Amino acid sequence: MFAFKKVLVTGGSSGIGKALVDLLLEKDCQVFSLSRSLLEREAYSAGGELRQIACDITDQDALDRAFQAVFQETDALDLLFSNAGFGIAGALVDTPKEEVIRQFDVNVFSALEVISRAMPLLEKAGGRIILTSSVAAVVSLPFQGLYSASKASLNMLALALNTELKPFGVRAIAVMPGDVSTPFTDNRQKDVCPLTAYGQRCPQSVARMEKDERLGTSPVLTARRIIRIACKRAPKPLYGLGFSYRLILLAFKCFPIRLTNWLVSLLYG
């Protein structure tokens, strides 16, 4: 029997988030799905109890209203999946400051805002926080540096939160999927690289990366792996998803940085 019954998911209308919502509904969970876009109920799995709440998680007032609704309908949360996010591709030195802030606002700052608001409910249930990070948190690809930096921040937050929240019985876990075939690829924001400075390196690197993503793991399999980790009796704060990506993460941990950076440059530079 699935031990966790009351769950909140951000970014639950597409990709990994929607797959998580579907699997949780199949397990008869009460699921609160926060996303900018709402889907027809028929778009999700039958079973469970789904409450969709339209919310831009970067909007403080919208978040306040969303959690008002959550607090009215439940007094505890067993799981929080902080999954909402997006990516910017482009040359770091040519990315406008407002875009840098936006990348971190969506992927990092808003995750903290959601966790902060959910804490009373998580504390009551001794719940768990699952942050959707990425292998890119460890393997920083050229022309995707901002995305990598934002996901690395989530890893560090998970490590710190896991220690800070231990007295409250709440655990934090960052999961690092690799390439996953989702609408995330098509929704990536591409900032134009000055061709005089980078030639075709930037568009070619991004194109190769997106090809890998489209051939990646299915969101359903990824969601299953995430839920399996969430259910572990004594979970670690950081997990790579899938055998091949765990090997990659191990290699980047064990091999000299000069070697791993050279390999990344060879493939994507």
Catalytic positions are 147
For residue 39, the 8-state DSSP code is -
Burial of 58 (C-beta count, 10 Å sphere; 0-12/13-18/19+): middle
**76 close to 124: Cβ distance less than 8 angstroms:** yes
Tokens representing residue 23 in the block: 């699997």
Tokens representing residue 257 in the block: 């940085």
- What lies within 8 Å, CB to CB, of 143 at 6+ separation is 89, 90, 91, 193, 201, 202, 205, 206, 268
Pairing of strands 79-82, 6-10: parallel
